[in-house]
């Protein structure tokens, strides 16, 4: 697994934890930073995970608005917590990280959804992100 794939998983863990526990994201990030400091072999994945989480937080309103717009009848509250976090990560990469091709962001998100969410989530995530990708390239 690449460092960026590991970073996406770490970002997913942080966003999911903050969401489910209704904890401030900053507190979750601080705890993860302390853990990462004790594990130097995970430094590469930590740096990108932090960039993702900070990016999602900085652009939360825009990202959530696009997700809801393209989710066709699904509110954020109705989505499984994992799907919501996966969509936010990939949407940030598509919209705000030019180093990551849209297809890679979508593929990585679909894989996370397959591994951590419901049976139908990967198709849902793929559809929403495909529309966000089209929007971003327009």
What is the tens place of the pLDDT at every residue in 102-119? 999 999 999 999 999 999
pLDDT beyond 80 at 93:
yes
Which tokens is 19 given? 């969401």
Q: Is the alpha carbon torsion for 113, 10, 2, 84 positive or negative?
A: positive
Burial of 57 (0-12, 13-18, 19+ CB in 10 A): middle
Helix, strand, coil percent content, the chain, rounded in steps of 5: 80, 0, 20
What is the tens place of the pLDDT at every residue in 63-90? 999 999 999 889 999 999 999 999 999 9
CATH of the domain at 17: 1.10.940.10
Contact between 71 and 132 (Cβ < 8 Å): no
pLDDT value of residue 7: 95
Can you list the positions of beta strands (E) in the chain?
none
- Listed residue (75, 57, 43, 51) closest to 15, CA to CA: 57
Range of the domain at 104: 3-137
**What Rg, from alpha-carbon coordinates, does the chain have?**
14
What is the tens place of the pLDDT at every residue in 52-62? 999 999 999 99
pTM: 0.94
- Count of domains observed in the chain: 1
Q: Is the alpha carbon torsion for 121, 126, 70, 47 positive or negative?
A: positive
């Amino acid at each position: 697994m690449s460092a960026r794939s590991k970073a996406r998983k770490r970002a997913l863990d942080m966003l999911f934890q903050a969401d489910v526990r209704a904890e401030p994201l900053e507190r979750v990030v601080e705890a993860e930073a302390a853990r990462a400091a004790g594990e130097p072999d995970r430094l590469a994945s930590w740096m990108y995970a932090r960039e993702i989480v900070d990016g999602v937080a900085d652009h939360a309103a825009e990202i959530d608005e696009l997700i809801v717009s393209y989710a066709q009848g699904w509110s954020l509250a109705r989505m499984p917590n994992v799907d919501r976090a996966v969509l936010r990560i990939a949407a940030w990469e598509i919209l705000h990280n030019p180093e990551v091709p849209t297809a890679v962001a979508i593929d990585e998100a679909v894989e996370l959804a397959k591994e951590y969410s419901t049976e139908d989530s990967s198709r849902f995530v793929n559809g929403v992100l495909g529309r966000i990708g089209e929007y971003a390239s327009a």
